[in-house]
Chain A
Amino acid sequence: MRERRRQSRRTRWLTTISVLTVAALGLAACGSADSTSDSTATSDSTATSDSTATSDSTTTSLVAADSDRLQAPTEDSPEGEITIWDRSGDLYEVFDATIPKFNEKYPNIKVNHVAVDIDAKLQNTLITGADVPDGVFLDDAKIGGFSEFLWDLADVLAPYVDDIAAQKVDVNTINGGVFGVPFDLDPGLLYYNEAALSEAGVDAAQIETYDDLLDAAREYQAKNPESGPIHLEQSPFLGQLQLEMFASQLGTSMADSAGELRLDSPEYEQILTFLDTVQHEDLGTRAEYLGPTDIAELENGNQVFYPWAIWFSFAPQQLLTDTTGDWRAMELPAWEDGGARSGAMGGSSFVLPREGENSELAWLFYEFLMFNEAGYSAVWGPNDVYPTGLNTSIPSYLPAADPGAPLFQPVEALGGQDLWAVATEAGAQIPGGTPLPTWWAGAVDYLGNNIQRMLDGDLKPSDVVSLSTEEIQDNLVDRQ
């Protein structure tokens, strides 16, 4: 009985394996140079409009213009329903609250606003074309990966593009097309614990370059030997993001617009050497962004300098209850005298999938949110969700980001500082950028991890560059 069972089980395994192998071989044999297409992303080049009064000019312009470029509706009161995807959370609430205002302008457009796990769904939805939304909130880092599924917004953005922060336009520009409506600009700032620093006799306002920052840190440490004044990021992903913020200050990034690696450059060497020095001289606190250690060290005065995106402002406001009010923000130090005093870290845009039913109506929604005063005031100004306004980012639309006309109020947790002025002035200094390569997230396994190893003391800055370049080239770039 057992013998037979053993045999039948063996047969079973063999059968399964052989079935799969035969299938594989058979397909390999049938497969030829001309690849059979299982392709599913058929590009519907014309966006169908549900509006009743279709004017001739709309139809002809749809046909005449480059069929991948979205055109704005021209009728007076466009009609239809749009599905907008956003991440759930406070931001979702903020956008939701803007819909009534939008409907004041466009009463016949119904907005179906959905909170979605965008990371889990967007790719599959776009690839299979199943129930595609009209507009999606997307991290800038991800836009490159989806550009083939998205509308080229060059034409609709044309009236505004000169007034949008260069870095945001650049990050959305792939092969000459613009694939996202820029949402927020996230300028890097240097957050510092004013109270702790002045108690130690260190004047942060004097800091102009990263060398100055190192000096200030040394000075602080002399008075507080237990401290590690400068934050060193322990999460490989965020560490890489921060690195790119520094690089953005210097007008460079991991890959150029052609997707070629350019880590091997004096700029990256300078940045990595700076980080290595902090580690080497024990001037840093190594922790994961706002993890338990990070928060504790921020609260006890051991960590007093945090070069990070503007959205760190959330910490003194919500998490750092002991030191709330002690913190201030200033522009980042420059890499050399007179250099740019900010770079971009993170940020998102709105994309419009080509297979959406009413993409041009979704465009109207985003146009309202970003370029219409009623829209952007509603997003960044005081509202139910953020009584003093949304102060974790600034608009990328420059007329909205006027240092003299703040949308959000001074931040109490920063001692009543006018964060708006600081951020908008810093943001204006951000050099132009490049789109993020599609393999950006994959690079974390290599560059992100290598930075961590350097911070562990196991790698030299030049090693980080050479190793990462090789690994990224072999595993990511070459396999595109």
Chain B
Amino acid sequence: MTATDHSPKPARTRRLVSWQYARTFAIHGVLLLLMVAFLAPVVWAILSSFKQANGIIRAPLVFDPSSFTLDNYTSMFEDVPIVRGFSNTAVVLVFKGAITMFFAPLAAFAFAKYDFKGKNVIFGMVLVTLMLPTIVLIIPLLLEMKTLGWVNTYQGLILPGAVDAFAIFWMRQVIRAVPDDLLAAARIDGCSEFGIFWRVIVPVIRPGLAGLAVLTIMNIYNDFVWPVVVASSDDRATLQVVLSSLAQNITGNRIGADYATVTGELLAAASVALIPLLIFFILLQRHFINGILAGSVKG
């Protein structure tokens, strides 16, 4: 199944072939350059994780493969509960991701295609959620968790913010573009409201949903401000919490003496954290997204 071509087509000229070659070459050139720019710092971090910790600070751009060592990794695995961090992140990803992926587009559908009393007020709630910086809400939210007994629990990690406001905001955007005639036709056919959502909207917005899936995963994965506060022990610490505890000797103001060793462990942890995510995305890329996109475009 070939991917459908969405790009602007070149005007047909006699020099079709060489023009197209040049164009492809140029496109790849630009993309490659960007790719290098995007990947270089990460490659640096991964390679550095194999260096002696002090060497990372002392000579950051010097890489001597013969002196590569796994020290940072061994000490990291010993000291840092990274496996636990992974499993906790996975749990949160699955549950919170599922909740958002299902309920956000649904809510967005309501905002995009219905008029109902209180719609503006409720959408205002969405906007305010988006705009209020999380950091201010930490203390009262933590108090709530304490009252509910949810400190350091999975519920505490998953439920607050489970139906992501950003997801609603974006999906509303996407769903608005769906022609109303499709819905009208479905209604005439006797489809239920939910049926309209499931059978008409969802297939049409597949590319948007695919994008949402990727972004939701990334946002949950990156989420740090709340988890670091609600997860008070290693049992429930997500990856970002684990990484942040390593990073504190490096960020902000360097005081004291052991930030070099911590840097080594941090780079090792970051590298380890990155790899599964990358593999996941590569797989997602190939089988999931491309498959979804192939089925999505109507002529």
When A and B assemble into the complex, do they touch directly, with CB atoms less than 8 Å apart? yes
Across-interface contacts of B121 in A (CB, < 8 A): 15, 19
The reply to whether B123 and A128 form a contact with Cβ atoms under 8 Å apart is: no
Q: Tell me the chain A residues, 297-317 only, with Cβ under 8 Å from chain B.
A: 311, 313-314
What interface size band does chain A fall in? 35 or more
- Check B142 against A292 for contact (C-beta < 8 Å): no
Residues of B within 8 A of A8 (CB): 120
The answer to whether B128 has its CB under 8 Å from any CB of chain A is yes
Closest to A1 in B: B180
A15 touches B120 (CB 8 A): yes
B9 proximity list for chain A (CB < 8 A): none
**B234 at the A interface (CB under 8 A):** yes
Question: Residue on B with the closest CB to A4?
Answer: B115
Which secondary structure characterizes the binding site on chain A? helix
**Chain A, Cβ-Cβ closest to B131:** A16
C-alpha gap A318/B54 in the complex (Å): 6
**B contact residues around A238 at 8 Å (CB):** 253-255
The CA of A130 and the CA of B261, in the complex, are separated in Å by: 31
- Distance of A185 from chain B, by nearest CB (Å): 14
Take A124-B139, A128-B142 as given contacts and tell me if A292 and B60 are in contact as well, using a CB distance cutoff of 8 Å: yes
Q: Tell me the complex Cα distance, A90–B260, Å.
A: 10
A17 to chain B: closest residue by CB: B124
Pair B142/A319 contact, Cβ less than 8 Å: no
B206 shortest CB reach to chain A, Å: 25
What's the nearest-Cβ distance from chain A to residue B138, in Å?
6
Pick from B60, B120, B245, B257: contact of A311, CB below 8 A.
Answer: B257
A265 to chain B, nearest CB (A): 26
A336 within 8 A of B: no
**Shortest beta-carbon distance, A303 to chain B, in Å?**
15
- Judged by a CB distance under 8 angstroms, whether A356 is at the interface is no
The answer to the question of B249 belonging to the interface, with a C-beta cut-off of 8 Å to chain A, is: yes
Residue of A nearest to B247 (CB): A117
Distance in Å: Cβ of A129 to nearest Cβ of chain B: 7
For residue A241, CB closer than 8 A to chain B, the reply is yes
Q: Is B168 an interface residue (CB 8 A)?
A: no
Q: Residue on A with the closest CB to B53?
A: A318
Q: Given A89-B262, A129-B146 in contact, is the A16-B253 Cβ separation under 8 Å?
A: no
Query: Looking across the interface, which residue of chain A has its beta carbon closest to that of B261?
Result: A90
CB of B172, distance to nearest CB on chain A (Å): 11
Give the interface size class of chain B: 35 or more
Q: A88-B79, A90-B258, A290-B57 are in contact. Are A235 and B248 (CB under 8 A)?
A: no
Q: Tell me the minimal C-beta distance from B238 to chain A in angstroms.
A: 13
Chain A residues with Cβ under 8 A from B158's Cβ? none
Determine the distance from Cα of A89 to Cα of B60 in the docked complex, in whole angstroms. 20
Known: A19-B124, A346-B255. A87 touches B249 (CB 8 A): yes
Contact A11 B248 (CB under 8 A): no
Within 8 A of B (CB), among A219-240: 235, 237-238
B228 within 8 A of A: yes
* Contact call B229/A16, Cβ cutoff below 8 A: no
**B246 and A88: CB pair below 8 A?**
yes
The answer on a CB contact under 8 Å between A139 and B255 is: yes
Q: A318 touching B260 by the CB < 8 A rule?
A: yes
A 71-89 contacts with B by CB, 8 A: 87-89
Partner of B139, one of A11, A88, A127: A127
Question: Which residues between 81 and 137 of chain B lie within 8 Å of chain A, taking CB atoms?
Answer: 120-121, 123-124, 127-128
Contact A290 B127 (CB under 8 A): no
| A340-382 interface (Cβ within 8 A of B) | 346
The CA of A365 and the CA of B223, in the complex, are separated in Å by: 35
Evaluate contact between A314 and B257: CB separation under 8 angstroms. yes
Q: Given A129-B146, A241-B255 in contact, is the A124-B138 Cβ separation under 8 Å?
A: yes
* B209 contacts chain A at the CB level, 8 A cutoff: no
7 A-B pairs whose Cβ atoms sit less than 8 Å apart in the complex: A12-B124, A15-B121, A16-B128, A19-B128, A40-B139, A114-B233, A125-B229
- Ranked nearest first, the 10 interchain pairs of A and B with the lowest CB-CB distance are A16-B124, A314-B257, A131-B232, A90-B258, A392-B257, A89-B258, A237-B253, A117-B245, A128-B142, A130-B146
A interface list, Cβ under 8 A from B: 8, 11-12, 15-16, 19-20, 38, 40, 87-93, 114-121, 124-125, 127-131, 139, 235, 237-238, 241, 289-290, 292, 295, 311, 313-314, 318-321, 346, 392
Supplied contacts A128-B139, A318-B58, 20 more A-B pairs, CB within 8 Å = A11-B120, A15-B121, A15-B124, A20-B128, A40-B143, A87-B245, A87-B248, A88-B265, A89-B259, A114-B234, A116-B245, A120-B228, A120-B229, A131-B232, A238-B255, A289-B254, A290-B57, A320-B58, A392-B256, A392-B257
